Structure 1
Amino acid sequence: MAQRCPLLLSLSLSLSLSLSLSVSTAESSPLLDQHLQPAEAEGFLEKYGYLHDEQHTHSANEVKSAVREFQWLSHLPVTGQLDSATLVKMSLPRCGVKDRGSHEAWAQRVNTIFSGQSRQHLRKKRYTHPGEKWYKRHLTYRIVNWPRHLSQGPVRLAVQTAFQLWSNVSGLVFQEVSQSPTDIRLAFYEGEHNDGTSNAFDGPGGALAHAFFPCRGEAHFDKAERWTLNGHKGHNLFLVTAHEIGHTLGLEHSPVRHALMSPYYKKMGRSLLLSWDDITAVQQLYGKPSGGAGVQIPGRALSWAMQDWELAEEPTDRNLSQPQYCQGLFDAITMDGNGTVLVFRGGLFWTVSSEGNVSAPLLLQQRWPHLPFAIEAVAFSPLDSKLYFLKGGLSLLSQVS
C-alpha cells in the first residue's frame, strides 16, 4: 500500500483541483515556529488513528509508515519524515475524529474510477462503518447549550443553515426540537467531558470539535475556542458545525483537498461549499433529494449574509415546544432551465452557474420590477420556461425567466 502513495496523491490532487473548487484552506500562511515538536508527533499519530495507542512503543518503520499516511491525507510530500511542513500541519486546528482507514478506502475508490469496476460495494466502505447510518430520512436535532460570546439567535440560524447544506443535496429532512428524545445533539464542553481521555478538549487550537457516527448522533464543540459567525477573529461556527454534522450522518474524513469533510477546517470561500466527494458520500447513504440532484448554497452568498448574523435577534415569539423545520438562511432557492441556480434573500438574489461561479448580489426588483421587495418561494416550470414567485398566501406571480 505504501508504494502507491505518490500515485494516489497525484490522482487525488488532480481530481480535487478539477472537480472540487469549494472553500479556501485556513493554513495558507502558517507560522513555521508554531508546530509540534518531533517528540509530540507520535502522540498525535496515536490520537488520530495512525498508530495503535495500546502499544507502549512503536518501531521506526511503524512511525514512518504512519507519517506517510498522514502526509498523504494532508496533501504533503509523502516522505515519511517529520519535516517542518509536516509538524506545522499537525499543529493546525482540525476535527477531533480519527482519520483511521481513509487511505485504504480512498485507494479502493480511485481504483474503481479508473478500472471501471462496480463501485457500489466499495463505496460503502469509504463513507461509513457497518450499521453507522440512519435508517430513516427524517431526523431531529437539539442544541443542548451555547457558546460564549454569541447569542442564541445567530447560533440557531447558523446551525439551521448547516443542516440545510446537507438536506439540499440529499434525501434527508431535519427538524429542531427543544427536548429529548432527539436524534442529533449539539453541545459545547471544555476539557474532559465523559467521552474518554482521548476525546478531551485541549483548549484554544488543536481539536476544535468532534462527533460520533450514527446512531449515537452527538457533536461536541470546544467551549474554550473563540467562535465567530462573520469571518473575523475566531473559528467559523457554521463551517465547523456543517463538518461535524457530516460525521453524525455517517461520513468519514475525505482526502479531497477542498472537501468540507477534510479533517482540517477551512475558511469560507466564494464558491460551492460541498465538493463532489461530500455530495457523493451523503447521497450514497441517503439518496438524492426528491427534486433531483439537489441545489447547493454558494459560499459567496453565505459570506454576504453572514455579515449581519451576529446582529440577529432571538425571535420573541418562537415556540420550540413544537418542532421547527430548517428554514435556513435564504428565502428561496431554485434552478432555471439553463442549469443556473438562483438564490433569494430579502431584496437581493445571486446566480450560480453550472460551473459553480457565483455572481455579486443583485437587486431583485431590478431584474423583476413588478415583484415585491422580498419573496417567500419560487419555482421554475419546464413546461412554459417561467419562474413562479409566491408572496403572501396564494398570491402567485409569474415572470418569464
Structure 2
Amino acid sequence: MGPRAAGALRAALALGLLAAAQPGPAPRQRRDAELFLEKYGYFGKQAPGTHSPDEFTDALRDFQRVTHLPLSGVLDAPTLHQMALPRCGTGDGERDTGTQQASSTRRHRRTAQHGGRWYKRHLTYRVVNWPQYLPQHKVRLAVRAAFELWSNVSSLVFWEVRDGPADIRLTFFHGDHNDGLNNAFDGPGGALAHAFFPRRGEAHFDSAERWSLHSGKGRNLFIVVAHEVGHTLGLQHSPVRRALMSPYYKKLGKDFVLSWDDVLAVQSLYGKPSKGLAIQLPGKVFTHFQDWSTDPYGGDRQQRSPSAYYCHSFFDAITADGDHNIYIFKGNHYWMVPVHGNASDPQPLQTRWPGLPAGIDASAWSQSTGKFYFFKGGRCWRYMGSRLDAGFPTKCSARGLPRHPDTALHFQQLRRMVLFKGPKYYVLGEEPLALEPYYPRSLRDWQGLPSGTAGALTHSDGSVYFFRDERYWCFQPGQLRVVASGKWAAELPWMGCWDGNSGHVLF
C-alpha cells in the first residue's frame, strides 16, 4: 500500500473516530445497552422498555460504579467496551458500594427464588457433564480446587459424588437450556456462565466457550467455576476490584485468588474454619493443571497418552521449521511432530528454549534467518537453536507490535514476519525487529481468514494453515484466499493425531 492510499485510510479512520465521538449514542447502541442493563438487574423489576431517560442514566451510573468507570451516566466508548467484555451471566444484584447508595432504583438478584445460604456445612457436588477437548481428570482437579478455595476460608466441607443427587450440580449447556431466552448461552464471549443461589444449587457453563486449564489462551475454567461456586453458596457480585466475585472474571496472578471481600462475604454466611486459620492461596498455584500427572481416580477413559493430549484440547501456538518438523506449544510444554511421523512426548519448554515462559501467545520460525520467535504479552524472544539472541527478551510493544498477538507467521512471499491480532495484521522487519510502514492493515486482505486464530504454519506444499480451536483454514498464497477448512485433528494426518504405523486416529 502506497503513501497516498495509507493517507486516505488514515483520513477515513479519523472521520470514523470523529463520528463516533459525537454526543449521544446511536439508537441501536442505546437499545443494546438498555437490554444489557435489564438482563443484569440494573432496572429492578420494571417492565422492559419502560425506562425514562433519568432511569437509564441512573442505571448507567450504577454499572459504571460497579466496573470502576467514571460516573458520567453517559453511554460513552469505555462503557460500551466494558459491556461487550465476557462476564458472569448472573445479575449484579442489590448493593451498597460503601460510598453512597447504588441507586434510588433498587435492583434485585437475577434469581428471584433463592435461599440466602445453606443450613448445613457438609455439601456434595457433581459434575454432570464435561467440556469438550479437556481431559476429565484435569477438569475434576480444577473443580475440586475451586471448591477447596471456599472450604479453606470457611466452615464448609465439600465432597464429590459421581452420580445421583448432589447439593450443587455443575452442567455445560449450549444455547437455550430452559433458563429463559434471556439466559441462553451465546457461544464464545458474552456470558460464560451463571449460577443459582442456595438451595437450588446449580451452576451452568457455556459448552461452546473455549475453555482452558492454564493461564494461556482460552477462558480459565478454574476461575469461572470458583466464581460460580461462590454464587451457589449465596454470594452476590462484589464491587471490589480484582475480587473473585467481581462480575468480570479475574485473571490468575501472584496475588491471592480470593480477596479480603470474598473471604469476609463467605465467612459472614458460614463462619470461619472450625480448625486452624483460614488458608489463602495465590493464583500462581493454579496456573497449570496440565502437569501430566496420572489420574488420581483410577483412570479416565477419555484421557489418552500424553503424546495425543493436544489432539483433543487447544494449543497456545504452532509453527514448523525448515525440515517441516511441527512444533505445538501448550502451557509449559511442547510437542514435535516430524514429517509423516508420530508426535513426541511432551517436552518442557525451558529444556529446549531456556528462559522462555509458559503459556506463550504466538510463535514462528523464520525461513530467512532460521530463528525461532516467541511472543507473550508485550515481550518477545528470539532464539538461534537453543541460544537466546543478545538483546532479548525485549519489549516489542514499544516498537509498535501488538500486545498478546493471536498468531505469528513468517510469510515467505513477503520475506517478513507477520503478526495477527483481532481484525488486523502487522508486518515486521527482522533486522531490526520493527513494524513496517503503513501497517497494521485489515485482515480482509487475507480473504476468508477468520480473526482470533491461535497459530499458523507453512506446509511442505507451500500452503499456509491457520488454526483456531478444533478447526483449520488452508490459505493459498498465490490466490491470496482461503481455499479449504475443516477439523485439523481428524483431517490432517501430518498433525500427529494419526498413528503413523496404522493410519488410525489416536483419539
Q: Does residue 61 of the first structure (1) align with residue 45 of the second (2)?
A: no
Residues 40 and 90 in structure 2, CA contact (< 8 A), matched pair in contact too = yes
Cα distance in 2, alignment partners of residues 137 and 108 from structure 1: 34
Cα-to-partner distance string for 1:172-210 (whole Å, 9 max, x where unaligned):
000000122210000100110011112111111010000
Q: What secondary structure does 1:163 align onto?
A: helix
Match of 2:295 in 1: 314
Match of 1:50 in 2: 42
- Deviation at residue 151 of structure 1 after TM alignment: 1.0
Cα distance in 1, alignment partners of residues 276 and 237 from structure 2: 26
Q: What secondary structure does 1:72 align onto?
A: helix
Structure with bigger RCO (C-alpha 8 Å, 6+ apart): 1
Match of 1:236 in 2: 220
Q: Relative to structure 1, is the Cα distance of residues 301 and 265 closer, same or farther in structure 2, using a 3 angstrom cutoff?
A: same
Where does 1:1-400 land on structure 2 (aligned, <5 Å)? 37-51=29-43, 52=45, 54-102=47-95, 104=96, 106=98, 131-303=115-287, 306=288, 308-309=290-291, 311-315=292-296, 317=298
* Structure of higher CA gyration radius: 2
Q: Relative to structure 1, is the Cα distance of residues 106 and 210 closer, same or farther in structure 2, using a 3 angstrom cutoff?
A: farther
- Deviation at residue 56 of structure 1 after TM alignment: 2.9
Residues 38 and 82 in structure 1, CA contact (< 8 A), matched pair in contact too = yes
- Deviation at residue 316 of structure 1 after TM alignment: 6.1
Cα distance in 1, alignment partners of residues 274 and 139 from structure 2: 28
Output the amino acid matched with 1:42: E
4+ aligned runs moved over 4 Å, structure 1: 105-110
Residues 114 and 200 in structure 2, CA contact (< 8 A), matched pair in contact too = no
Q: Relative to structure 1, is the Cα distance of residues 244 and 70 closer, same or farther in structure 2, using a 3 angstrom cutoff?
A: same
Cα-to-partner distance string for 1:377-396 (whole Å, 9 max, x where unaligned):
xxxxxxxxxxxxxxxxxxxx
Cα distance in 1, alignment partners of residues 294 and 60 from structure 2: 47
Q: What secondary structure does 2:82 align onto?
A: helix
Please give the root-mean-square deviation of Cα atoms over the aligned residues, in Å: 2.7
Q: What secondary structure does 1:61 align onto?
A: helix
Q: Relative to structure 1, is the Cα distance of residues 69 and 226 closer, same or farther in structure 2, using a 3 angstrom cutoff?
A: same
Cα distance in 1, alignment partners of residues 93 and 122 from structure 2: 29
Cα distance in 2, alignment partners of residues 260 and 161 from structure 1: 14
Residues 170 and 204 in structure 2, CA contact (< 8 A), matched pair in contact too = yes
Cα-to-partner distance string for 1:308-349 (whole Å, 9 max, x where unaligned):
34x444346269xxxxxxxxxxxxxxxxxxxxxxxxxxxxxx
Cα distance in 1, alignment partners of residues 114 and 140 from structure 2: 32
Match of 2:504 in 1: none
Q: Relative to structure 1, is the Cα distance of residues 224 and 201 closer, same or farther in structure 2, using a 3 angstrom cutoff?
A: same
Cα-to-partner distance string for 1:231-261 (whole Å, 9 max, x where unaligned):
1211000000000000000000000001100
Residues 115 and 197 in structure 2, CA contact (< 8 A), matched pair in contact too = no
Residues 163 and 174 in structure 1, CA contact (< 8 A), matched pair in contact too = yes
Cα distance in 2, alignment partners of residues 44 and 179 from structure 1: 37
Residues 116 and 234 in structure 2, CA contact (< 8 A), matched pair in contact too = yes
Q: Relative to structure 1, is the Cα distance of residues 314 and 53 closer, same or farther in structure 2, using a 3 angstrom cutoff?
A: farther
Output the amino acid matched with 1:146: W
Farther off after superposition, 185-194 or 36-45:
36-45
- Deviation at residue 284 of structure 1 after TM alignment: 0.6
Cα distance in 1, alignment partners of residues 101 and 80 from structure 2: 28
* Superposition TM-score, scaled by structure 2 size: 0.50
Cα distance in 1, alignment partners of residues 229 and 215 from structure 2: 20
* Superposition TM-score, scaled by structure 1 size: 0.62
Q: Relative to structure 1, is the Cα distance of residues 243 and 105 closer, same or farther in structure 2, using a 3 angstrom cutoff?
A: same
Q: What secondary structure does 2:209 align onto?
A: coil
Output the amino acid matched with 1:317: G
Match of 2:469 in 1: none
Q: What secondary structure does 1:37 align onto?
A: helix
Residues 38 and 87 in structure 1, CA contact (< 8 A), matched pair in contact too = no
Output the amino acid matched with 1:193: H
Residues 47 and 198 in structure 1, CA contact (< 8 A), matched pair in contact too = yes
Residues 141 and 289 in structure 2, CA contact (< 8 A), matched pair in contact too = no
- Deviation at residue 39 of structure 1 after TM alignment: 3.1
Q: Relative to structure 1, is the Cα distance of residues 130 and 109 closer, same or farther in structure 2, using a 3 angstrom cutoff?
A: farther
Percent sequence identity over aligned pairs: 59
Cα distance in 2, alignment partners of residues 91 and 53 from structure 1: 23
Cα distance in 2, alignment partners of residues 109 and 292 from structure 1: 37
Larger strand fraction of residues: 2
Residues 152 and 314 in structure 1, CA contact (< 8 A), matched pair in contact too = no
- Deviation at residue 271 of structure 1 after TM alignment: 1.6
Cα distance in 2, alignment partners of residues 160 and 316 from structure 1: 12
Cα distance in 1, alignment partners of residues 51 and 170 from structure 2: 36
Output the amino acid matched with 2:255: S
Q: What secondary structure does 1:192 align onto?
A: coil
Aligned length: 267
- Deviation at residue 107 of structure 1 after TM alignment: 5.3
Q: Relative to structure 1, is the Cα distance of residues 316 and 163 closer, same or farther in structure 2, using a 3 angstrom cutoff?
A: closer
